[in-house]
Amino acid sequence: MTPLTHTPVSPLKIILAMAFVVASWGFSPTGIHIGLQAYDPVHLALSRFLLASLFMAVIAVFKGIRLPKWRDVPLMMGLGFFAVSLHHVAINFGQQGVSAGASSVLAQTTPLFSTLLARFVFKDRVSAWRWGCVLLGLIGAVIVVAGDHGLGSIDAHGLLILLAAVSWSLYFALQKHHSGRYDGLTLVCYTVWSGTLLLLVFLPGLFDQIAHAPMHVQFAVIALGVFPSALAYLAWAYVLAHVDLSRATMTLYLTPPTAMVIASFILGERPTLMIVVGGLVVLASVLALNLERRIFVAQAVRV
């Protein structure tokens, strides 16, 4: 009898999935800017994730996911709060005063805040190298915020984008410490659903905004709900199932330049030199963090 073997996955499929993730998340800042033309920040977040929740429900029916245990309900609500409710409300308010390109760069600071959480919340040891990366990344973030509208116009909007990055890092921390209990699809579904449930507090007034929103805004909101908020997560789960995490995350460095190109074509934005320089500083600091992890793992394997 011939033994069963797993059919190798085509590298082209993995590359296409990675490209889809980058394109979807690169569109998100532009989609948010368009959505804010007719929606206020909280209603934009709610409408986007009502669509995402419906889409994930259809996926769940076909794929099949198990019910969470009662003791894990607080965990699911926490994941939903940090990944959906707080993150997207903060980023929507922030993008009222921050360009799409600058927002995409500031969102990449999540690993820097994850390092701070590791030290001050989880009491992990943080090397001098990682402290240097955090400091460099925060300097880059300041350059981006200052370069968006000039040194004299720095306000809280950039800080709100950074708050969204902090919220995302808290989500990753929770997910990391409890990922063994559920598969990736199950966690994504319950994260989206619980976050949407928390956003329902903003339901009053939503349908009035939907009724008066122009058609191009409606299309942008639908695209936000289907692509960055649902399909991109499924594609990312597919990538992680076949590619090492450190290699896969390297592709996400393409998200800010992709976001800038999309914003340039759709919104007519032109990033300033300071945004580009600050973005390079932020991405270099995050890349340095990942390089340290890979060097550490390689040394551990040799030992």
> Does 38 fall in a domain?
yes
pLDDT (tens digit, 9 = 90+) per residue, 127-159?
888 888 888 888 888 888 888 766 555 568 888
In this structure, are residues 92 and 228 in contact, taking their beta carbons and an 8 Å threshold?
Answer: no
pLDDT at 181: 75
pLDDT at 110 (0 to 100): 82
Angle at 184 between CA 182 and CA 188, to 5 degrees: 100
Report residue 90: phi and psi, to 5°: -65, -45
Query: Is pLDDT at 69 greater than 90 in this prediction?
Result: no
Q: Burial, 278: exposed, middle or buried (Cβ in 10 Å; 0-12, 13-18, 19+)?
A: buried
Helix (H, G, I), strand (E, B) or coil at 231: helix
Mean pLDDT, residues 204-210 taken together = 95
Checking 238-247 for CB contacts under 8 A at 24+ apart, the result is 238/14, 238/17, 239/14, 239/17, 239/18, 239/21, 240/184, 241/184, 242/9, 242/14, 243/14, 246/290, 246/293, 246/294, 246/297
Residue 234 vs residue 98, higher pLDDT: 98
Total H helices, total E strands in the chain: 15, 0
Q: Tell me, yes or no, whether 5 lies in a domain.
A: no
| Contact call for residues 41 and 160 (beta carbons, < 8 A) | no
Task: Tell me, yes or no, whether 4 lies in a domain.
Answer: no
Q: Is 1 among the domain residues?
A: no
Tell whether 244 is covered by a domain. Answer: yes
Q: Please report whether residue 3 resides in a domain.
A: no
User: Is 229 a domain residue?
Assistant: yes
Contact in structure between 114 and 174 (CB atoms under 8 Å): no
Whether 294 shows a pLDDT value over 60: the answer reads no
User: Does residue 3 surpass a pLDDT of 70?
Assistant: no
How confident is the model over 175-200, as a mean pLDDT?
A: 85
Total structural domains within the chain: 1
pLDDT value for 240: 74
CA 7 to centroid of chain Cα atoms: 31
Nearest to 282 by CA among 105, 88, 155: 105
Residues 17-64 have pLDDT tens digits of 999 999 999 999 999 999 999 999 999 999 999 999 999 999 898 888
Q: Which domain holds residue 285?
A: 11-302
Asked if the structure places residue 252 within a domain, the reply is: yes
